[in-house]
Amino acid sequence: MDEEWRERIERLEFHQKLLMELIDERHPFYRLIIKRKITEKEMSKLYSLCAVLERKLAEERKQGMVYHGELLDEFIGELNPKLNPEETIMALKKQGLYIDLVTVLQDRKRER
Protein backbone atom coordinates (compact mmCIF):
# COMPACT_ATOMS: atom_id res chain seq x y z
CA MET A 1 0.00 0.00 0.00
CA ASP A 2 2.87 2.40 0.78
CA GLU A 3 4.34 1.92 -2.70
CA GLU A 4 0.95 2.65 -4.24
CA TRP A 5 0.68 5.91 -2.29
CA ARG A 6 4.23 6.89 -3.19
CA GLU A 7 3.54 6.34 -6.89
CA ARG A 8 0.34 8.34 -6.63
CA ILE A 9 2.14 11.23 -4.94
CA GLU A 10 4.93 11.15 -7.52
CA ARG A 11 2.36 11.21 -10.33
CA LEU A 12 0.54 14.15 -8.73
CA GLU A 13 3.79 16.04 -8.33
CA PHE A 14 4.67 15.38 -11.96
CA HIS A 15 1.23 16.54 -13.09
CA GLN A 16 1.59 19.65 -10.96
CA LYS A 17 4.88 20.48 -12.70
CA LEU A 18 3.17 20.10 -16.07
CA LEU A 19 0.28 22.29 -14.98
CA MET A 20 2.73 24.95 -13.84
CA GLU A 21 3.94 25.17 -17.42
CA LEU A 22 0.38 25.86 -18.53
CA ILE A 23 0.01 28.84 -16.22
CA ASP A 24 1.08 31.66 -18.46
CA GLU A 25 2.16 35.18 -17.63
CA ARG A 26 -1.45 36.29 -17.06
CA HIS A 27 -1.44 34.40 -13.76
CA PRO A 28 1.90 35.15 -12.12
CA PHE A 29 0.39 35.33 -8.64
CA TYR A 30 -1.13 31.84 -8.86
CA ARG A 31 2.15 30.57 -10.25
CA LEU A 32 3.98 32.11 -7.28
CA ILE A 33 1.52 30.53 -4.84
CA ILE A 34 2.14 27.09 -6.33
CA LYS A 35 5.88 27.59 -6.64
CA ARG A 36 6.20 28.63 -2.98
CA LYS A 37 3.92 25.79 -1.81
CA ILE A 38 1.40 28.13 -0.20
CA THR A 39 -1.65 26.38 1.25
CA GLU A 40 -5.22 27.46 0.63
CA LYS A 41 -5.42 28.74 4.21
CA GLU A 42 -2.20 30.75 3.77
CA MET A 43 -3.50 32.24 0.53
CA SER A 44 -6.75 33.21 2.25
CA LYS A 45 -4.74 34.97 4.96
CA LEU A 46 -2.88 36.91 2.27
CA TYR A 47 -6.16 37.92 0.59
CA SER A 48 -7.51 39.02 3.99
CA LEU A 49 -4.37 41.03 4.65
CA CYS A 50 -4.69 42.77 1.29
CA ALA A 51 -8.38 43.51 1.88
CA VAL A 52 -7.63 45.05 5.29
CA LEU A 53 -4.79 47.12 3.86
CA GLU A 54 -6.97 48.29 0.97
CA ARG A 55 -9.58 49.53 3.45
CA LYS A 56 -6.85 51.31 5.44
CA LEU A 57 -5.55 52.88 2.24
CA ALA A 58 -9.03 54.17 1.37
CA GLU A 59 -9.43 55.58 4.90
CA GLU A 60 -6.01 57.24 4.77
CA ARG A 61 -6.87 58.81 1.42
CA LYS A 62 -10.16 60.10 2.86
CA GLN A 63 -8.16 61.77 5.61
CA GLY A 64 -5.92 63.39 3.00
CA MET A 65 -2.84 61.30 3.68
CA VAL A 66 -0.48 60.83 0.76
CA TYR A 67 2.37 58.81 2.28
CA HIS A 68 1.41 55.26 3.15
CA GLY A 69 4.69 53.78 4.41
CA GLU A 70 3.02 52.08 7.36
CA LEU A 71 0.95 49.99 4.93
CA LEU A 72 4.14 48.63 3.40
CA ASP A 73 5.55 47.88 6.85
CA GLU A 74 2.37 46.05 7.82
CA PHE A 75 2.31 44.12 4.53
CA ILE A 76 5.93 43.00 4.96
CA GLY A 77 5.41 42.19 8.63
CA GLU A 78 2.32 40.06 8.04
CA LEU A 79 3.40 38.41 4.79
CA ASN A 80 3.95 34.68 4.87
CA PRO A 81 7.69 34.00 5.27
CA LYS A 82 7.58 31.70 2.22
CA LEU A 83 6.89 34.78 0.08
CA ASN A 84 9.21 37.61 -0.91
CA PRO A 85 7.43 40.98 -0.50
CA GLU A 86 8.66 42.52 -3.75
CA GLU A 87 7.97 39.40 -5.80
CA THR A 88 4.49 39.09 -4.27
CA ILE A 89 3.64 42.74 -4.93
CA MET A 90 4.74 42.42 -8.56
CA ALA A 91 2.82 39.17 -9.09
CA LEU A 92 -0.37 40.61 -7.57
CA LYS A 93 -0.08 43.69 -9.78
CA LYS A 94 0.62 41.75 -12.98
CA GLN A 95 -2.41 39.55 -12.31
CA GLY A 96 -4.60 42.60 -11.67
CA LEU A 97 -5.27 41.90 -7.99
CA TYR A 98 -5.53 44.72 -5.43
CA ILE A 99 -4.18 47.19 -7.99
CA ASP A 100 -4.56 50.38 -5.90
CA LEU A 101 -2.92 48.79 -2.89
CA VAL A 102 -0.03 47.11 -4.67
CA THR A 103 0.71 50.24 -6.70
CA VAL A 104 1.09 52.19 -3.45
CA LEU A 105 3.17 49.40 -1.90
CA GLN A 106 5.39 49.30 -4.96
CA ASP A 107 5.88 53.09 -4.86
CA ARG A 108 6.77 53.01 -1.16
CA LYS A 109 9.18 50.13 -1.76
CA ARG A 110 10.97 52.12 -4.47
CA GLU A 111 11.34 55.12 -2.15
CA ARG A 112 13.26 53.08 0.43
Q: Which fold has domain 2-111?
A: Hypothetical protein YhaI fold (1.10.3750)
Q: Percent of the chain having pLDDT more than 90?
A: 78
- Break the chain into its structural domains and give their ranges: 2-111
pTM equals 0.85
Among residues of the chain, what percentage have pLDDT more than 70?
A: 99
pLDDT band for 33, please (50, 70, 90 cuts).
very high
| CA-to-CA separations, 94 to 67, 87, 99, 103, 107, in angstroms, rounded | 23, 11, 9, 11, 15
Whether 25 shows a pLDDT value over 80: the answer reads no
The angle that helices 99-111 and 85-94 make with each other, rounded to 10 degrees, is 140
Tens digit of each residue's pLDDT (9 = 90 or more) over 37-69: 999 999 999 999 999 999 999 999 999 998 899
Predicted pLDDT at 26:
79
